[in-house]
Amino acid sequence: MRSNMKKAFTKVGRLNWSAILGVGFFLGVLIFLVRSVFWVSDWLVEHRDAQIKTLTVLGDPFYTEEHDIVEAIKRTDLTSFFQLNVKSVQAAVKDLPWVASVSVRKQWPDTIQVYVVEHKPVAFWNSDSLLNADGVIFQADSTKLSTNLPQLYGPEGSEGEAWETFLQLKAMLAVNSFELTSLALSERFAWQLWLKNGIELNLGREEKAKRVQRFIDVYPLLKRPEGALLDVIDLRYDTGLAVSWRYPQVHEKKEKSKA
């Protein structure tokens, strides 16, 4: 009996020591965390006025000068690394004409990194705007363009459809050695095309791809009058087409006679 009681007391003692050690460890961790919070708080207060000393522009912008990006960022509040408003920096850079998107990252202790993605222009839109590869319209200085872009026209909101149609019909025509340079969608949703050789194609509102194919098939069979160049082909008929010609030499003589 005494032996059993002794074992029981020994077991209880072991359990109490385990509980005491567990509680002690917990309290130690809690005290450490509280002290850490106060330390971090004091450290932040001490360094709240940390200055931004380095600005890095990433993304390799082509149309936008790095100087313009830096000047745009300088218009925001850069007095404190910790209090820097990242969204303000993003908005300032995003306002630059060629910039499509911006991401800003703070890097301790004194650097901000700005990653810039520019618009990739693929066409002019309604003469005074540009269109990017995602079908987004933007305004920018077109004199910076290094290549000639196609001209697209259409009502507001039709830019995506116009660009997709341009790509489709351009591919069809290119196979047959025609170069599509301009496309227009009217307010009544009728399509017109202009080729590099000066030919205008009126497609109407329906079956535009089928009507372009009809032009491709018929073009080699057209008999050109002497001194004439093909001007406009009207393909808005269910079958057949109408052709009009221009006479540049006659026009030139008239202009000379007026002079």
Alpha-carbon distance of 45 to 38, in angstroms, equals 11
Torsions phi, psi for 84 (to 5 deg): -60, 130
Element (H, E) at 147: none
pLDDT of residue 69: 95
| AA identity, residue 222 | L
Torsions phi, psi for 94 (to 5 deg): -65, -25
| Three-state secondary-structure class, residue 31 | helix
pLDDT of residue 248: 78
Predicted confidence (pLDDT) at residue 241 exceeds the cutoff of 80: yes
Beta pairing partners, 103: 115
For residues 109 and 43, is the Cβ–Cβ distance under 8 A? Answer: no
Predicted confidence (pLDDT) at residue 37 exceeds the cutoff of 50: no
Work out whether strand 180-185 and strand 191-195 pair parallel, antiparallel, or are unpaired: antiparallel
| Three-state secondary-structure class, residue 95 | coil
Q: What is the mean pLDDT of residues 237-250?
A: 84
Task: Look at the alpha carbons of 33, 39, 42, 45 in this order and tell me if their dihedral is positive or negative.
Answer: negative
Query: For 106-130, how does the pLDDT look when each residue is reduced to its tens digit (9 = 90+)?
Result: 888 888 999 999 999 999 999 999 9
Which of 75-84, 150-159, 209-218 has the lowest average pLDDT?
75-84
Token pair belonging to 28: 């130690």
pLDDT of residue 82: 82
Predicted confidence (pLDDT) at residue 140 exceeds the cutoff of 80: yes
pLDDT of residue 223: 87
Task: Look at the alpha carbons of 201, 206, 212, 218 in this order and tell me if their dihedral is positive or negative.
Answer: negative
Q: What is the mean pLDDT of residues 60-79?
A: 91
Token pair belonging to 90: 């993003």
CB atoms within 10 A of CB 122: 18
Q: What is the mean pLDDT of residues 200-223?
A: 94
| Three-state secondary-structure class, residue 55 | strand
Question: 3-state DSSP helix/strand/coil percent for the chain, to nearest 5?
Answer: 40, 25, 35
Which of the listed ranges 4-18, 30-44, 241-255 does the model predict with the highest average pLDDT?
Answer: 241-255
Distance of CA 225 to the CA centre of its chain: 48
For residues 131 and 159, is the Cβ–Cβ distance under 8 A? Answer: yes
